[in-house]
Structure 1
Amino acid sequence: MAITHPVTNEDTNIDPEFEAIFSSLPPADTPDEGDVGLALSKERFNAVLIPLVMENYWPLLPDHTAYRVWNHKIPVEGGKIKIRCVMPTPAHADETFPLLIWYHGGGWMFGTLEMDDYHLRIVCVALRISIVNVEYRLAPEHPFPTGLDDSFSALKWAAENQSQLCADINKGFIVGGQSAGANLATIVAHLARDDPFFDEYPLTGQLLQYPPLIHPDAYPETFKPALQSMDRNADAPFLGRVQIKNIYNALNASPTDPRVSPLLFPSHHKLPPAYIQACGLDPLCDEDILYAKLLEASGVPSKLDVYPGLPHGFHLFFPKLTASEKIDHDFQDGIKWLLNARGGPRMDLKGSRSDGSSG
């Protein structure tokens, strides 16, 4: 059965507040393809974007006495990876918290623990939740599926070591990520559902910020009517169709592998509830909306927020936008919803808009 959704003018018209700022900036040059272009893109991501994000969240950091941070290395196939654990300061010796496992964005090729570090510290204290921030190994130096395998290993480690994290997964066990990290979180949720190990440690939520969910070369005929945003937003700021193509090329994995394109998993039944954020000007927007619909059709509680007229990762670049403040507020509300969503009400498939209306 073909799955479609209406596209409204609210989605496709650029947000005027964003446009006013973005149009005043000088045009950015795009690195060439190939090894040199990839190296330059990685340098810019790590040297420019990550410090910018940290600078934006730094003024909002809670008092250092309200939380604890420790780095740790955990064993994975072929080596060790670094994780950063952030835990609220317990009010008493026996206090425990829900647990969130987080994977950073960066197209499976860029990014570090620092990317979301300050934001996660804020969330940790505000919601009284322990967080494990995972530094999975990156492509192309570590070919697919290394990053995914690392992510899954980190999830298992956290489940087995929850006491070290002041966590009790019976209070909530959420897997989440941003962009490529949200892709990893989506896939990990499917893998955990099918792994007997997690019968004892069941996930209770998926927290997904604008995830890529299907390779553009892998659209099934039944999905094509619902997947128009790759063409509609091909030239969107920050992340367009050409950039997405280059990223998938560097990942060098089969487009139809569900571990790349999780929309293609044979079943989405019995997954944990999902909170999804999608950007209206993002080429990935329709994938995110479609995933919410597929989950709903499979009986999985889902909640979707769409930010009309805004591109992929807009809040990372322009944190003072009204919508940027809204997406961070919604992020925390989404976690709260997940902590209470097991068996809860289903979402309106039209999703909610950043202005609170339905579209």
Structure 2
Amino acid sequence: MDTLKNNTEKILEYLGSDDSLLTFDQPKISKDRLLKPGPDYIDKAFGLSDRNVNTLINLSRIYNHGRLGGSGYLSILPVDQGIEHTGGSSFAPNPDYFDPENIIKLALEGGCNAVATTFGGLSLHARKYAHKIPFLVKINHNELMTFPNTYDQIMFGSVSDAWNLGAAAVGATIYFGSEESDRQIVEVAEAFEEAHELGMATVLWCYTRNSNFKTDQQDYHTAADLTGQANHLGVTIKADIIKQKLPTCNGGFKELKFGKTHPDMYKKLASDNPIDLCRYQVANCYMGKIGLINSGGASSGAGDFAEAVKTAVVNKRAGGTGLISGRKAFQRPMKEGIELLNLIQDVYLNDEITIA
């Protein structure tokens, strides 16, 4: 009881003025419509699906590993930023992480369900660690060495390579809304089909990307309606887990004057409350049958712990499945990174924090 009390007090301390997120109880979409995370999640979501036995085994490996094992929730450490943001900018705050073995050690010591990183980093250490923590191999990346910068996701390896590394899952990004998105959808859909045939799970980074999505007044890349639709496309190509940024606004389709909308999208299915906005993302993941994990975002230094708690509370209370947090954890000393990962996990382990 003392541990739970201290856990709750710490979460309340980090939430500060955002503690109303714990009492919000009027969601536009009822929790009764959702498949909620729990120990029987894989049976309910995938037991009658077309996923083969080995895919179910690997999903179980992921969901049953680490501090959140058996809860139906996920805490994943992703470290592919050395490609996406350059190694220098990613690892300068803590150069130890230029060594990819330390990435795996952080995930292990931090009690994560899985570690997501690159072919190169995992291939050096698969024999030592693949049986100790589930590997999630990121198969495509946006390389930023082209000048001027272009923004495209290209394949860095094959699904069979990931399988040979003993990976439990493959991960990929699609930039929905970009000029290259049609090709990316086809490439990733084919990769996910092969991954499922080989018995691996699939995780999709469902990001929106288009310069027209940002106006002088608002950045709609994280609008609930746009990200929700990206999620809906992601589950359609059979992602088993969706990674998405936490929504910060809504009404992107209306304000940008494209796509198709219905008034009920904004009146009956969402409000301005962060939990409602995130629940709209969950609803677009087949009402929670495909797990939604929100990203932890960039490191802002001293405020990282409070931001991580808030994101975890919003995701959990919305019906999401967990967090995938990287820079906030690895851009600091390992001990502090472990503390941050454990703090996120504590939100999901705390029975007092319920689905709204």
Q: TM-score, normalised by structure 2?
A: 0.37
Higher relative contact order (Cα pairs below 8 Å, separated by 6+ residues): 2
Structure with the larger helix share: 2
